[in-house]
Every structure is written in C-alpha cells, then in structure tokens.
Amino acid sequence: MIQQKVISKRFGKVDPLSIDSYIKFDGYNALEKALTMHPTQIIDEIEKSKIRGRGGAGFPAHIKARALANAKQPKYIVCNADEGEPGNFKDRIIMENDPFSILEGMVILAYATGAKKGYIYIRGEYQNAIKIMKMTIQNAIDKGYLGENILNKGFDFNLEIRTGAGSYVVGEEFSMIESIEGKPGRSRVKPPYPTDKGIHDKPTLINNVETFANFPHIILMGGDNYAKIGTPSSTGTKLISLSGNVKNKGLYEVPFGTSIRDVIFKLGDGVSYNRSIKMVQLGGASGPIIPEYMLDMAIDFERFENFDSKTGTGAIIVIDERFDIFDILLINMNFFVHQSCGKCAPCREGHTQIVNLLNKIKNHRGTEQDLMSLENLANVIQQTSLCGLGQTSMTSIISSLRYFRDDYFAKVRY
C-alpha cells in the first residue's frame, strides 16, 4: 500500500466527540508514557525523530521546543489551525476526525516545555471544527486530561480556542500572535522570534495542527523508530490534500519520499476524463506550479526548499489541459492582493501591479519589457517583504517563468 496511516489511523474509526472512543483506540497512551519521562527526554525524542513542522516552512520541531523549554514563565503554546492556504484541508479533517490527538500532542509539549497556557487558533470559516474542538477541550478537562493537575501529576495546562475572523495572513506566526492579542493580523519584525517574544512579548511556540498530532506517535514509537519512516531528511508521514481535476480528491497519508505522480495516479486515480495534466500547483496559492514532466519529484522538504515557499503543507492541486496558466496565476495573485495585510510597501503595492502586468500579458498587450518588469517585481516582492506572505506569494509566478516560459512568449508582443 502506498498509504501509511499513522496520524490518520483513527479517521473514521473513532467517534470524534467521544473521549472514551479515543482512549479505546490507544488514545492518551502517549501522554501516560510522556508523564513518566523527564521533560528534556521528550524533547530529545522529538529531536531524534527529526520531525519538521508541518505548516509549510518545515522548521525542525525540536529547536522551537527546546527554546521554549529554556524560556522563562509565563510562556505559551499555540496550535495553528488557521488553515487558509487554498488547496489545503488536512487540518480541518484532523480536527473533525481525531481532535483528541491534537490535544494530546499539545499537552505532551506543554509538559516538555513547562508552558501552562495554550491556544488553538482556528479559522472562522471552520465552524464545525470550532464546535468539535470546544467540546473536545471540555471532555478532556472533565476526564482530567487537561486543565489543573493533569492525570494527578501536579501539572497544569489550560487551553483556549481563538477564532479567526477572516484573514489568510494570520496563519503567519507573528500575525497570529497579533490576532491572539486582539489586533489586526499584521506581522512584526523578526528577530526577536516568537520563542523569545511572542504573545504579550512572552515566549510563544506555534506549531501546526499536524505537527502536534504527530507528537503522541513519536512518544509511543520512540524518536528513532519514527525517523525510520520517510527519507533521511524528511522523516515520518505527510498528509496530502489532493484536489483539482483528479478523480478521487481527498486526504491521503503517505511516507515522505513518495512521488507526486504516485499520489495523483495511484491514490487520486488520475485525471478526470483521462485528460492530460497541464500543471500541478504544490502547497497552495503560495506554492510553485510545475509541469507534468516533473511529477516524479519526491515529496520531500529538501526538494521543496528549491522553491522557497510553503510547499511543505502537502497540498497537490492538479490542473488539466483545459486551463490557461494565466487564469491560474491571476487567481493566485488576486488572492494575495486581497490578503496582503498592507503593512509593508512591496507586498501592499506590489501585488496590484503584478495583477496589472499579468492581465496585460494574458490579453496579448504585454511587451518584452513587461515580462522583464514582471520578473523583476516578483523578485523584489519575494526578497524584500516583511513576512512570509510576500516572501512566498511570488513562487507561482517565478516557477511559471521557469517552467512555462513558452506560454509567456506565446502572448508577448515583439
């Protein structure tokens, strides 16, 4: 089987609203085990597992955890469930199918780092997930798995749900911190990093939903065993949100190293009506657009880093031969025009001009000079923007200029 179900092993098999059902299916075994360990041992296991963050950027999880463990009180843990990147739905499905695993992962990390307070920040569009997570928290408190004196081990961890109110950029760490403080989600200057100065300037660790859901498994199987899954540089499994023009759209869990082609054709059963693939966008609106001939590429952080983007979220959007790349690029760019927070000049002003240039080229009115302006502006936005939004929004443009240059030349006037 190409799928390897670790995080998704309970999906569809447990009642997401029942803590008893969760416990029956190995739930909270990891927490029980973790509480017998020394907090630093837990972080050691995370380090051995070599797990990298599942929110897209792929930052090694143990580095943040250790930084928070070494930080002074008060300190906070945040679960980033503001899944706004188009093409991604994995975090929603985890929340809706196995919500206790997220809580268990958070409590384990709280114990390991000494944090006493945490937040789960869920985008406002996910009303169902918000309801489920609220109930989950209450159930966990009632059964002693959360709140004061967890499992009678004299350790406290309180969780609060924060609801997003419609902003993509809040998925970025500092924007989320600002939003948790009740402000518009506009990022801050880095450094200092959140683990030094986060919520109310106190140390804060932010991980993605999927990252937290991995921790119980790391504790149960041990870091070394976990590291055997996947590839040496990208360990473990990855949830893949497969969408677009495939027959079987859906969420699949595969070990790192699986090829994109296998996901599309073996799991997704190929393109509907057996049309050919024009392009595939990886990661979401901020990810690269690659041509069909690159589909043998393995799903792997090292490969993704070539694209300078949040490809690591694991979204694969398949787009068939009927579509024009400029329509796809324009949807992406209009998305960023709408989602830029407006704080820094290149991002605020740049995306509008990118849209202007794309429209011009799409409508055969663009010149070679416009093509150069587009390339130049895309690079400036990527290199000078304040936060991850502007630093990654140009990935689809830059990759399209690399892999679909002929599409541009076909439209540009000479």
Partner 1 sequence: MVNLKINNIDIQAKENTTILEAARQNHIDIPTLCNYPDLSIKSECRVCVVEINGQKKLHTSCSTVVKDGMVVKTNSPKVLNSRKTIIELILANHDANCTACPKNYNCELQSLANKLGIDKNRFPTVLDIQPIDNENPVLIRNINRCIKCGRCIDMCKNVQSMGVLDVMGRSKDMKITPAYGKFLTDEFCTYCGQCSSVCPVGAIIENDDTDRVWEALNNPSLHVIVQVAPAVRVSLGEELGMEPGSIVTEKVVAALKYLGFDGVFDTDFTADLTIIEEGNELIERITNGGTLPMMTSCCPGWINFAEQKYPEILDNISSCKSPQQMFGALAKSYYPKKMKLKPDDIFVVSIMPCTAKKYEAQRDEMKIDNVHSDVDVVLTTRELGKMIRQMGINFENIEEVPFDKPFGITTGAAAIFGATGGVMEAALRTVYEVVNKEELTDINFTAVRGTEGIKEAEVEIGGQKIKVAVAHTLENAKTLSEQVKNGTSPYTFIEIMTCPGGCIGGGGQPYGTTKAVRDKRIEAIYQVDENMPIRKSHKNPDIIALYDEYLLKPLGKKSHHLLHTHYSSRKK
Partner 2 sequence: MKIKEILSKYPKESEYLIEILLEIQSSSKNHYISSEDVEQISKYLDIPESQICSVTSFYTLLSMNPKGRYVIQVCHDVPCFVNDTTSIYEKLVDMLAIEDGETTEDNLFTLEITECLGCCNEAPAMRVNDQVYTSLTPKKVEKIVKDLRGEEK
The residues that touch partner 2, with contacts defined as CB under 8 A, are 83-89, 91-92, 123-128, 162-168, 179-186, 200, 241-245, 249-251, 281, 284-285, 315, 317-320, 323, 327-328, 331-332, 335, 338-339, 341
Would you count residue 351 as binding partner 1 (CB under 8 A)? Answer: yes
d(CA 281, CA 87): 9
Question: Which of partner 2, partner 1, none is residue 177 near (CB under 5 to 8 Å by kind)?
Answer: none
- Cα–Cα distances (Å) from 317 to 82, 88, 159, in that order, read 19, 9, 34
CB of 391 to partner 2, least distance (A): 19
d(CA 109, CA 53): 14
Binding mask 284-323 for partner 1 (x = CB under 8 A): ------------------------x---------------
Q: Which residues pair with 303 in a beta bridge?
A: none
d(CA 78, CA 161): 10
Would you count residue 39 as binding partner 1 (CB under 8 A)? Answer: no
Would you count residue 386 as binding partner 1 (CB under 8 A)? Answer: yes
Do 240 and 227 form a contact (C-beta atoms < 8 A)? Answer: no
Question: Which of partner 2, partner 1, none is residue 182 near (CB under 5 to 8 Å by kind)?
Answer: partner 2
Would you count residue 72 as binding partner 1 (CB under 8 A)? Answer: no
- Judged by CB under 8 A, the residue of 223, 236, 350, 366 near partner 1 is 350
356 exposed, middle or buried (CB, 10 Å; 0-12, 13-18, 19+)? middle
Nearer to partner 1, 3 or 384 (CB): 384
Angle at 371 between CA 369 and CA 375, to 5 degrees: 115
Would you count residue 376 as binding partner 1 (CB under 8 A)? Answer: yes
| Dihedral in degrees, nearest 10, Cα atoms 274, 251, 5, 171 | 140
DSSP type of residue 171 = G
| Contact positions vs partner 1 (CB under 8 A) | 167, 184, 186, 189, 191, 308, 337-346, 348-353, 356, 373, 376-377, 380, 382-386, 391
